[in-house]
Structure 1
Amino acid sequence: MQNIALLFTIIVFVLAFGLLLRVMFRIVEYCYGLLFDKPVFVHFCPFPKKISPIAIDFLTNEFTFYNNLSDKNKVYFEHRVARFLDNYQFVSRDSFVITEEVKVHIAATITMLSFGMRQYLCNVFDKIIIYPSVYYSNLSKQYHKGEFNPNARAVVFSWEDFQKGFDITNDNLNLGIHEFAHVLHHQGMRSNDISALLFARMYTEINEEVSVPKVREQLIASEYFRIYAFTNQFEFLAVILENFFETPLEFKKQFPDLYYKVSLMLNQKH
């Protein structure tokens, strides 16, 4: 009995000590985030998952963001793509054929947006629905190219329009980035991990800045962001992330302060 009691005491102590360390780390990281506007660390995967040769070929030949990474970060990127493919369902509509390249392209897009965040798997959706082209929504009674529907826990794409977003790389129109920006927004404002907290803080600062009439007038007058950005706060964020990834040098040149805040929000620079 004494041995059992001792073992039980040791187990309780280890669990309590582990919990204490976790709480202390969260406090330290929160303070670190306040000081340096980034997590203590982002990538940690001692046993990274692999993706198929087909996936590697696609990323190498078709995905510029991946090719600009260091060899070490390419391993992290591949790991995250593999994890995405394992965790989300892909659903075909109107007889669209979902190939491995289709899946990898979609997974790579959200991996690109969230690559500076430690918590990169979002729990606000669980499936990707893909139509061959523009589709009619029975909910909105309108035709759509894509949408994020948090109630249905789904991100929906017209594949034709998703591809167009990557065919022209500098027009600041990218359906995949736009809809996944809505996902990150929804996730970032509801989660409490360090990346989400930093996202929410920078998002608040951005909204405060662009709500100033003079700043808003300058943004509109520049014609750098398409007018749809000023529909509401949600669309503004989605549009500026399209610009951030497609024309980062022009973004930084025209609006350096806003660019800096977006880079902090995503923990990324170009």
Structure 2
Amino acid sequence: MNKLFEAILVVVILAAFIIYKITQKKKKKVAPFPANWHQLLLENVEFYAELSTSEQKRFQQRIMIFLSEVYIESVSFKLQDLDKILVAASGVIPVFGFKSWHYSNLSTVILYPDHFNKNLVFENSGEDKIVMGLVGTGRFEHQMILSRRALHDGFKNYNDRLNTGIHEFVHLIDKVDGATDGVPERLLKQAYTIPWLKMVHEEMEAINRNKSDIRNYGGTNEAEFLATASEYFFENPRSLKRKHPDVYRMLHDCYFPEEHI
């Protein structure tokens, strides 16, 4: 059964890759923003709802650019507008502070209906079905695989500090410099690298001693700390600023370099 699902996944990725290459060669045009998507964004993406009208327009444009550059495919279910919106929003939110950002290391996002295991199998009843998302490597390079349920759940509670879509896109941003190591060199000024790592290790130690409200997963390694702390930053920035001012300040400088706190 595992081989069957692996074969299906390979076919999906191959088809997505071919379609992606064709659309890239044709220089796919950016489609106009569908009018009904505004309400869907207001109802489902708190980050968008809190923006000014002019910034919402910019967010809409960024979503459509993202969707013109990244192919979204579903496995075993029909893709809905909200699925596309939440994937695109997950990608746009972490880089919204930049006037222009293109995910050069991503061609396809593949949505599974539910969580899956490390072998990318989702239709099982085992206890190992715990993976909510991952950035592909090896033959899955330039692919991201997300649990649809986890993607939607991430946007349902804006204050729970958990958003799988944003988490995985932060990994992708981290990986732009060639290594997923928790040091986002494209975002972090070189002079800040050592202070950043020192702070990360102190915060990881606090997490592992149960002395922090940053999710336990952030204590796994530097890359997971960056992704988990970033979820917190975008989901509940006021709380992060109050409880972890140094982390907040550093992440703010990374994600919104042209602003001042």
Tell me the TM-score normalized by structure 1: 0.71
CA contact (8 A) 2:42 2:49 kept: yes
- Any idea what the Cα deviations from partners look like across 1:80-117, whole Å, max 9, x if unmatched? 10011111111111x11111221011101211111012
Tell me the distance in 2 between the aligned counterparts of 1:177 and 1:123. Answer: 17
Larger radius of gyration: 1
Pairs within 5 Å for 1:1-270: 50-93=32-75, 95-138=76-119, 143=129, 144-151=131-138, 152=140, 153-187=142-176, 197-199=186-188, 201=190, 202=192, 205-212=195-202, 216-219=204-207, 220-267=209-256
Give 1:239 deviation, angstroms: 0.5
The letter for the 2-side match of 1:231 is T
1:163 and 1:197, CA in 2 relative to 1: closer, same or farther beyond 3 A?
A: closer
1:164 and 1:140, CA in 2 relative to 1: closer, same or farther beyond 3 A?
A: closer
CA contact (8 A) 2:204 2:218 kept: no
- Any idea what the Cα deviations from partners look like across 1:126-151, whole Å, max 9, x if unmatched? 10000111124437996322111143
Among the aligned pairs, what percent are the same residue? 26
Tell me the distance in 1 between the aligned counterparts of 2:246 and 2:146. Answer: 32
CA contact (8 A) 1:146 1:179 kept: yes
The gaps in structure 1 that reach 5 residues or longer are 1-47
1:187 and 1:200, CA in 2 relative to 1: closer, same or farther beyond 3 A?
A: farther
Give 1:189 deviation, angstroms: 5.8
CA-based RMSD: 2.7
1:52 and 1:206, CA in 2 relative to 1: closer, same or farther beyond 3 A?
A: same
Give 1:57 deviation, angstroms: 2.1
CA contact (8 A) 1:170 1:246 kept: yes
1:262 and 1:248, CA in 2 relative to 1: closer, same or farther beyond 3 A?
A: same
Give 1:188 deviation, angstroms: 5.2
- Any idea what the Cα deviations from partners look like across 1:48-88, whole Å, max 9, x if unmatched? 96310122221122221112112221121111100111111
The gaps in structure 2 that reach 5 residues or longer are 1-29, 123-127
Give 1:211 deviation, angstroms: 2.7
The letter for the 1-side match of 2:198 is E
Tell me the distance in 1 between the aligned counterparts of 2:36 and 2:185. Answer: 32
Tell me the TM-score normalized by structure 2: 0.74
1:51 and 1:139, CA in 2 relative to 1: closer, same or farther beyond 3 A?
A: closer
Tell me the distance in 1 between the aligned counterparts of 2:188 and 2:64. Answer: 24
Give 1:217 deviation, angstroms: 3.8
The letter for the 2-side match of 1:158 is S
